[in-house]
A and B are shown apart, each in its own frame.
Chain A
């Protein structure tokens, strides 16, 4: 299952790769990383049907996570092809952001610091559905 992580913090890559080292090694998940909303859109354009899940930070310079979410939802108006799931991650776990994210069609809303155990569980469930 291909997952695109969008965050302006570059160390997120190292972190994800270590947190999910077993899953990556076993081939359960494949991670790609983008460091801005714009970069994520470019990546999605090139790898349209591969990405199953997008994990995006909200607070980024330039295009914010919410804008990215809107773009993604506009690009995939209705299935087929199956639109990717989008999970938003933010340091500001307030209700307005959550509601906004949900309104824009986010599939889930996580707050930083990310609870990796819970995330892993969610991803595993998604992966089993995928297969």
Chain B
């Protein structure tokens, strides 16, 4: 067999080596051009074989020469990849082997005798380079695996990072979306609040008007009476004047009678003025009651205010229900003096308490469960020694059940049938006394026995 044909084994080894190295170093991606060139690793071998055949050069070293070339190529590739740590290690692994191979080849070519003489030593050296090669190749492989693991880990981390940032973007989008919704809701709520405030004001105004409606009949009655007096006293004064004139025509004038008539006339004129003013003050009270609140405090005679509104409330109810009647007892403390208050607001509170009191006694009377029942509403004022002023409105009506006692000052709470009460009376009263006048409004009640509201105002 031609010795030179052994080169083909070397070519096969070279091709195998290329495949292994290619895979190990991932050459297609790291060095694509070199990788393509390595496809032609067999060419120099075949060429060498052709050349040696041509020149009929026979040598045992032909395959070794070729392998040395292959190793050289390997070293070159590794040098190009020296930044890649497993490649560096591989270089370190291969270098002694290659250098030794080159040295041995050179020796075999130049001084085969020496080679033969130190055959053992060379074999030991070769074995050592082999061991070195495999050891470091193994380390390189481990390192590569380690690097691969690290890379995978990094990739994983990178992916996680991307996922997180994608989630962040999504979160930010959601937050922006939610913020927009919330802003819109806040806007809507603000609008609703404004609407509610407007409605509240309207309600307060309509509550005033509703209570004015309740008052109308009472007011009519209260105005009718003084007007009747005005008319009657005018009429009777005219009669008196006629009588006086007749008397003056008489030959025997009675000066005593004339004087009496004149006194009466003067008195009548005073009565006319008095009742005219009485009517006017009722009209004024009515106007004040309906006027939008200007909130100005003025010295107010609580006794007079309570008396006025008590009459209005009573006659208001009487006008609706002719059969209704109640005993009214009042004690107005003369030492009360005038206190600083918004009289129309306090008037509304009093009116509300009186109306409620009358309503309660009327209801108890209608229920008819108490024989000999005398509906009684009493109003007392008191100037306490501590300086505070107290108004007590007491009735012996139906009382307030314990279950609703806590709710009576809440807006829109009413026990009256729909349409009869707005449910704002006591809640507005409470606000007027506590917020408007720094006072207190308390209730003492026993179901079936009666109720007492106590207003306390700082003097």
In the complex, how many angstroms separate the beta carbon of B288 from the nearest chain A beta carbon? 24
**A61-B224 in contact given A14-B267, A116-B232 (Cβ < 8 Å):** no
CA A112 to CA B328, docked complex, whole Å: 23
Residue B66 at the chain A interface, CB threshold 8 Å = no
A18 touches B268 (CB 8 A): yes
A11 touches B315 (CB 8 A): no
A18 touches B314 (CB 8 A): no
CA A95 to CA B326, docked complex, whole Å: 21
A18 touches B264 (CB 8 A): yes
> What 1/0 flags go to B315-337 for Cβ under 8 Å of A?
10011001101111000000000
> What 1/0 flags go to B229-256 for Cβ under 8 Å of A?
1011101100110000000000000000
Residue A32 at the chain B interface, CB threshold 8 Å = no
> What 1/0 flags go to A58-85 for Cβ under 8 Å of B?
0101111011000000000000000000
Q: Which residue of B lies closest to A20 (CB)?
A: B236
A97 touches B328 (CB 8 A): no
Give the one of B236, B267, B323 with max A CB within 10 A: B236
A91 touches B225 (CB 8 A): yes
Residue A100 at the chain B interface, CB threshold 8 Å = yes
Q: Which residue of B lies closest to A65 (CB)?
A: B325
CA A63 to CA B231, docked complex, whole Å: 27
> What 1/0 flags go to A15-27 for Cβ under 8 Å of B?
1001100000000
Residue B221 at the chain A interface, CB threshold 8 Å = yes
Task: Identify whether the interface residues of B are mostly helix, strand, loop, or mixed.
Answer: helix
**A113-B232 in contact given A14-B271, A61-B314 (Cβ < 8 Å):** yes
B318: chain A residues at CB < 8 Å are 59, 92
A116 touches B235 (CB 8 A): yes
A78-115: which have CB < 8 Å to B? 91-92, 94, 96-97, 100, 112-114
In the complex, how many angstroms separate the beta carbon of A65 from the nearest chain B beta carbon? 9
| Residue among B239, B319, B327 making CB contact with A61, cutoff 8 Å | B327
**A91-B224 in contact given A11-B275, A62-B328, A113-B231 (Cβ < 8 Å):** yes
A11 touches B271 (CB 8 A): yes
Give the one of B228, B231, B264 with max A CB within 10 A: B228
**A94-B232 in contact given A59-B315, A61-B314 (Cβ < 8 Å):** no
A61 touches B328 (CB 8 A): yes
CA A62 to CA B378, docked complex, whole Å: 11
B327: chain A residues at CB < 8 Å are 61-63
6 nearest A-B residue pairs (beta carbon) = A64-B325, A113-B228, A18-B236, A61-B328, A62-B327, A97-B322
In the assembled complex, 27 residue pairs joining A and B whose CB atoms fall closer than 8 Å, in A order, are A9-B225, A9-B229, A11-B275, A14-B267, A14-B268, A14-B271, A15-B232, A18-B264, A18-B268, A19-B232, A19-B236, A59-B318, A62-B327, A63-B325, A63-B327, A64-B325, A66-B325, A91-B224, A92-B318, A92-B319, A96-B323, A100-B323, A112-B224, A112-B228, A113-B224, A113-B228, A113-B231
Instruction: Report which B residues bind A (CB closer than 8 A).
Output: 221, 224-225, 227-229, 231-233, 235-236, 239-240, 264, 267-268, 271, 275, 314-315, 318-319, 322-323, 325-328
Other CB < 8 Å A-B pairs besides A11-B275, A63-B325, A113-B224, 12 of them?
A9-B229, A14-B268, A15-B236, A19-B232, A61-B326, A64-B325, A66-B325, A92-B221, A92-B318, A94-B322, A113-B227, A116-B232
